[in-house]
Chain A
Amino acid sequence: MSDIKGFTTLPIILPPSNSTSVKASPVVHYAFFKKHSVPNSNDADLADRAARSLFFVNLPSDAGFNNTKKFFTTLVPGTIISSVLKKKLGVQEDFINFTKLTSEIASGEAESGKNLEDNLPNGTALVEFVDKKNMNNFVAQLKAIIPAHDAAKGENQLFCWPVDDVVGTKRYQQRLHQAYITETDKLQQYISQSLVNFTRKETAAQEALQAPVNLVDEDGFTLVVSSHRKTKQGILNAVNAAQSSKVQEEVKNKLKKKEKEDFYRYQIREKKKREMQDLLDKFKSDQARVEDMKSRKRFRPY
């Protein structure tokens, strides 16, 4: 198996599903890997972790820490991995921060750039090894045995993917149990705690807002804050919005509305003309519509 764009192809034999009636040849899954290119980061810790990670494309979707570890150690004994970071394939489950989008209180609190997996594309994974040496050893050994696997025509048990997922009826009942909650203590606690946190944040924001109110600046002005205002950021947003062209336009329109429309004779004449034109336009558009229907053979009664 040749490399693709610098990626090494790793064949993985999937266990035959118990339900396929005919014993078909084993199904082979293909993963692709290469050493993770180190992102330009000032964070020494991140750089270190990246340096001892392998970048995988298309690991099996149920790959977790346990079965990946098992699989790797079977392939190359002595391999020690410390974590598997994965972006799932499938329907995009992108995160929407409703808090940030609906409230000004939380703005500026979002954390970013702290994790290795943050910028992983869908369907890829980073497998972190215990150290760089271990990783290099793994890669070298693996590259050596893959051709042997290819020769064995898929009978090599080494490449068999270990499954450890709960599947079938049990899996779905578990999921249902998670969705239908009878023991509500935990939930209750979680909800109360979040609400307390929210109130705290809200009060903090309120205080921050009230602080400048009592301040008198050099010119003797104080800041006036409406009782509806909740955050400082809100004031800034409002100021920006008022300067936008849209609002100005609206004001202009308001003034225009007050003009009379049927005062001068020319206005009445124009209006009549316009009505006539409208009538004609409608007639023309009707004609066009009928013409269109005709071209679609709408008028064949049988």
Chain B
Amino acid sequence: MVKRTTSEEVSGHVAKKPVTSLADLESEDGSESQEELEDIIDPQTQSENDEEDAADVEAPVKKKRPTRKQLAAQDIQAARETAELFKSNIFKLQIDELLKEVKLKESSVVLIEKALHRLYDLIQQIPEVSDLSLDAATGMFDSKKLTVPFADPKPAGKPNYRFGYAPPLDVSLVGSFGLKTAIKTKKAASIDVALTMPESLFQAKDYLNYRGLYKRSFYVAYVAQHLIRLSRTHNFPIKVSYAYHNDDLLNVGLLIESINTANADDLVFHKTHLTIQVLVAFPEGVFDGKKLMPDRNCVRIQVPSTDDTPADLPATPLYNASILTSTYYAHYLKFLYKNKKQTDQFKDAAMLAQIWLNQRGFTSLTLDLGFGSFEFMMLMAVLSQGGAGEDSSSKPVLMRGFSSYQLFKGAIKYLATTDLCHGNHLSFTSGAQGNIMAGTAYTIPQGNGTPTMVDTHTKLNILWKMTPASYQTLQNAATKTLTLLNEVVVDRFAAVFLERVSIDYLNHDAIIKLPVAHIETDSFSAVEKITHLTWEKFLLNRVSTLLSKALGDRVLGISVTLDKHQAVFPLTKRKGTVSSNNLVIGLNLNGTECDKVLTRGPDSEELEAASEFKQFWGEKVSLRRFKDGSIQHSIIWLGKKEPVVMNITKYVLDRHLQAEISEHLSSDWELWQSMLPVLLLAGANSSATALTTNLQPFHQCRAAMEQLVKAVSEIPETASSSLPLRVRSILPATGVNAKYTALVPPVPFAVSNPDFFQELILQFETTARWPDELVALEKTKTAFLLAIMDALHAEEMYKCYMHKDSTIPAFSEIYTLCILTPEGYGFKLRVLTERDEVLYLRAVANSEKQKPRLQECYLKFNETYMASIKHSRTLTTLATHYAYFPAVVRLFKKWLDSQMLLSHFTDSFVELIALKPFVDCAPFNVPCSVQNGLFRILHFLAQWNWREDPLILDLIRRGSAGEDDVENDAVLIKLSDKLTLQSVLVITANFAKIRQADPHGLKTQFFIGTKDDPSGILWSQNITLPIASRLTALARAAVQLISEQLAPLGKDVLKMLFTPAYQDYDFIIRCKTFNMAVGSGISPPGAFKNLLVGSNSYPEDLVTKFDPIQEYVKELQQKFGNLVVFSNHKYTGLSEDGENVVAGLFNPNLANGKKRFKVNIGFNIKPVEGKDEVAMNKKAILNEMVRLGGDLVVKVEMKK
């Protein structure tokens, strides 16, 4: 244990001086602060405090300077403790750093405290006034300068209640600043000061019909007027405006901003970026809590029916809760303060919670989530109380001795696992023990479930601002966070606390906007007004209820928000104009359900349910008989190309919100889907999923592959030309079709598609008779392939070619067998034997000078023959598991190709990058739409610092049942494919080794470690630095464009995203156009579908259909690859008019400046001024390239 020195103790207390109420601050000179008093009274707290310090041992500044041994002992203790109390050492250290980072600046705190004192002084000087009638009250103010902020409906006539001002009972700091848990925030934060109105201004019945609220409005206006007057004479330059507290239109307060002046005497707190919010509270005990329970009506209105009794009036839960909230600011502050004293690390946990909430954009605002830092702190406080929950004898969920991490995690776990919404609730008491009065049981309002965490002492539902939808959002976020916190293999600190999650376009699969102006306000009647308070809140509720009912399982979460609302308004206005333009509907889809065309309803026999179902869906409902014999009401969503969910949304909003409102819905969803190539397949494009999740074209190709495999395997039985060895296996390798990741899915006879030939690896049964020499071995393989060719030709169904393969560098003796199947698909057969690897490795071992070159050969062999099979297998599983992965990877490939990058990467590399948001989606969801997938990939690429961080992917299927059980079972962990801590360590060590040799990433840039490839560079070894940097730069540019243009994106923005930047290249060779679209199986945009027919036979001469430009680039690459980086579009067929270009970038080291003449300089040179000096002859080089192109080249542009 470390004892603090005296000087530290003093300074510590100065810093720690609590400002829990302004009254405390009043006696500035020397009086003991509350904390100190308590410390004296309660010695245990003191000792606990010291223990806390001992836990943070790492920065002990000591006078005594202990021996090394002692220090080591402390470290060991700290290391042990943190391992137990926190997740891991590193996690705890990171938490410490983070908390340090977000702490308010000491100077800011001092300054703002000074300002608060000044404010307190001014408030004390406000003169009293009493017994004013409404007219007298409003007449007090010059209406040009100040209007009383009465809530709607404005009081009128001659009410018999009186307005007045008396000095507040109490002026106290409430909220996180008061608790000292305030942290830095991104937006300007405010400090809440509550003025409690004196009881004398109220009558017991003032809670009814806005009466108390009107009195408060006057009080607020009166304070505002006098504050402005007084501030002028007291060197306190401020700007005062009205502000709704938490967007609650009933609860208006004042917002005080500092004005920056040059006068040195003025008290300016402008620099702190803090504002002061003055809230006006009702005194405790004036209004009866029972009357303000959520099932009561407190606003009496005329209900348009004949025999109305007050009982028929709807309950006004929001109104009631607003009044209760205004009553108990100080009460809850005390409650939390008490908790903070009892639980050491409560403060840190509260700060962590605030960071967590901020990153997710969760606030207490009514129109937002309704769950902010106050609610979170309350939850933690309640959970650490004994007897929380249904069962009063239950133990507290959180212990007093918990670490900040444990407190935070406990609360998150509670949120994730407990449903406080549907029937279930949490009740507690914030009063002293035994203060619960009998007969005041809290009644949970009926209806579709309100999230409830009720205080039996004050009768306030802490979660009153939440709706079922927002509760679900919160719960989803908590569940995700809990999984992250439970993760033991990878450090997830960043995903929990450091990453900003509140980015709409990353967070939602689809964003739909609905302009509010087009919705008629007819349905917003007087009754709705008292229950929902505002039209916006009503609308949000209505739309989210409608959609969650209509979409059901198809969505995981729906968030409906307004894009803009104004909580602060000038003193001259009576109310803030809530001027929203759009309702923003964010959908998180359920990948397995969202695209089902069928919505199943109740059984035909359940009459009541059926009529309700019909009522909701209208004429779309039909009775259907299913395969299992049941007859059900159901709806089929067909005939439209837009996504099913969009179709349903439009239908339901039209039917229930307003006829033809769907015309005004805007979304870029369909636009994004149409970015994927449309295939030239009869009948394949009719359904809504044709472009995205439908894998039918791939399945057909697979079927053809299986036929071929069967044919080849059965060869030995045929008599004519038998193989001496039996076929053991034929497995798909680098081909993109088997993995479902082809940018252009396979279409029969589409030979111009660059992915036409699918590679298969053939293995024969084991034999010892393979030649023990590599070249002879390859020749033997060729002999086998020739035999297979003969056998297949004998059957006449298949057409074969031998192909000279150049995959392995400097090895020209390899042949593969290309087979065209009668179904119209092409395959390429390679033979792998068990001797290959041994021989390649032997070659590496025997090589001396050529070692790097041979290593390259070996890696290439490994990649082509062995790793590709594994990768292909893994991808196939994952592609079928993540419904949207194939579509997303295809869109990503299209983006890469449009930016002329795709040809630089291996397919597998692209696929692994695209897998990142799927297998490692935290802190977001698994993408379930093409646009979300692409945004997430780009977002990742834009921020991936590949010089410092490896990408480690755990290629398993997530969310499968029983995953939680696996976590506890060591045996199952071993069996599962999950990455283990060991393998992660191996991968990170590999990365560290690479970076040690190459710290700036000049040789190796992208490192992607997986279970299949712990080396991490298998698929990315051939990427060069300029290409890697370009990928990052382009992703950043794309992300910037997307985030500047709010969703939904327009057509022009999409076009911009997919347009290459030619000006960055040294030269552009524009090529002759080739119409490759039809030949590649793509239906060109704008063509008449019925006029286009895909081919149904092979061309006479296969190679005439291949894209000559790709061959051209290949040759350029061979000849000039050491001088120029060439880029081009790989899929000529995808560009609108068959255009393609070759863009080149000279190697700046060689191209610029003079070089000394050397015989082996290695590139085309010209003499320049200066002795024996030469420079690169760029023009001659370009001339040679163009000459090779011949008729392929149309135009050349060279950068000046």
Contacts and interface: CB of A to CB of B under 8 A. Distances in A.
Interface of A: 1-2, 4-5, 7, 9, 14-15, 17, 19-21, 27-30, 32, 57-58, 60-62, 88-96, 98-99, 101-103, 105-106, 121-124, 163, 165, 167-173, 175-182, 184, 187-188, 191-192, 194-195, 198, 202, 230, 276, 279-280, 282-284, 286-287, 289-290, 293-294, 296, 298-302
Contacts of A282: 79, 89
B801 interface: yes
Given A19-B1189, A286-B93, 18 more contacts: A4-B1167, A15-B1187, A28-B1180, A58-B1164, A98-B843, A102-B843, A169-B1108, A179-B803, A180-B803, A187-B782, A191-B786, A195-B779, A202-B771, A279-B79, A286-B89, A286-B90, A290-B94, A301-B498
A90 B1122 contact: yes
Given A14-B1183, A90-B1122, A286-B89, A299 B811 contact: no
Contact of B1188 (A14, A20, A123, A171): A171
A17 B1186 CA distance: 7
Interface string B753-792: 0000000000000000001111110011011001001000
B854 A96 contact: yes
B1057 interface: no
B167 to A, nearest CB: 40
B703 interface: no
Contact of B1111 (A90, A176, A184, A287): A176
B85 to A, nearest CB: 14
State which size class the interface on B falls in: 35 or more
Given A172-B1111, A180-B803, A19 B1195 contact: yes
B979 to A, nearest CB: 20
22 contacts: A4-B1157, A19-B1186, A19-B1193, A28-B1180, A62-B1184, A98-B843, A101-B854, A103-B773, A123-B1161, A123-B1164, A165-B1187, A165-B1188, A178-B804, A180-B803, A181-B804, A192-B783, A195-B780, A202-B771, A276-B76, A280-B75, A286-B90, A301-B500
B803 A181 contact: yes
Nearest to B806: A179
Given A180-B818, A283-B79, A169 B776 contact: no
Nearest to A168: B1190
Interface string B101-143: 1100000000000000000000000000000000000000000
B617 interface: no
A167 B786 contact: no
B1179 to A, nearest CB: 5
B97 interface: yes
A170 B1190 contact: yes
Given A98-B843, A168-B1191, A182-B801, A191 B779 contact: yes
Contacts of A191: 779, 782-783, 786
B966 to A, nearest CB: 26
A60 B1119 CA distance: 12
Nearest to A166: B1190
A280 B73 CA distance: 9
Instruction: Pick the most buried of B93, B1121, B1163: most chain A CB atoms within 10 A of its CB.
Output: B93
Contacts of B1161: 57, 123
A184 B789 contact: yes
Contacts, number: 257
Contacts of A279: 76, 79-80
Given A27-B1183, A91-B1121, A280-B75, A57 B1190 contact: no
10 A-B pairs closest in CB distance: A168-B1190, A167-B1190, A121-B1160, A103-B773, A176-B1103, A283-B79, A172-B1111, A168-B1191, A101-B843, A172-B1108
A301 B355 contact: yes
Contacts of A96: 810-811, 843, 850, 853-854, 857
Contacts of B78: 283
Interface of B is mostly: helix
Interface string B1095-1118: 000000011101010011001011
B75 A284 contact: yes
A99 B775 contact: yes
Contacts of B186: 302
Nearest to A98: B774
Contact of B1160 (A21, A98, A122): A122
B1172 A121 contact: no
Given A1-B1167, A90-B1118, A94-B810, A302 B185 contact: yes
Interface of B: 58, 72, 75-76, 78-80, 88-90, 93-94, 97-98, 100-102, 184-186, 355, 358-359, 494, 497-498, 500, 771-776, 779-780, 782-783, 786, 789, 801-804, 810-811, 813, 815, 818, 839, 842-843, 846-847, 850, 853-854, 857, 948, 1102-1104, 1106, 1108, 1111-1112, 1115, 1117-1122, 1157, 1159-1167, 1172, 1174, 1177, 1179-1180, 1182-1184, 1186-1196
Given A4-B1172, A99-B773, A123-B1162, A180 B801 contact: yes
Nearest to B1173: A4
Contact of B358 (A163, A181, A184, A301): A301
Contacts of A32: 1157
Contacts of B498: 298-299, 301
B1104 A173 contact: yes
Contacts of A15: 1187
A95 B801 contact: no
Contact of A102 (B842, B853, B1167, B1187): B842
A287 B782 contact: no
A173 B773 contact: no
Given A91-B1118, A195-B780, A169 B1191 contact: yes
Among A94, A176, A279, A296, max chain B CB count under 10 A is at: A176
A111 to B, nearest CB: 17
Contacts of B88: 286
Nearest to B847: A101
Nearest to A179: B804
Interface centre among A90, A98, A299 (most CB of B within 10 A): A98
A89 B1164 contact: yes
Contact of A98 (B75, B811, B1108): B811
Contact of A280 (B76, B184, B815): B76
B786 A299 contact: no
B783 A91 contact: no
B302 to A, nearest CB: 50
Contacts of B1180: 14, 27-30
Contacts of A175: 1111, 1115
A4 B1174 contact: yes
Contacts of A60: 1184
A15 B1190 CA distance: 12
Contacts of B494: 298
A167 B76 contact: no
A181 B801 contact: yes
Most buried by B among A91, A96, A167, A182: A96
Given A30-B1167, A101-B847, A282-B89, A61 B1184 contact: yes
A17 B854 CA distance: 39
A289 to B, nearest CB: 7
B714 to A, nearest CB: 22
A293 B786 CA distance: 59
Nearest to A279: B79
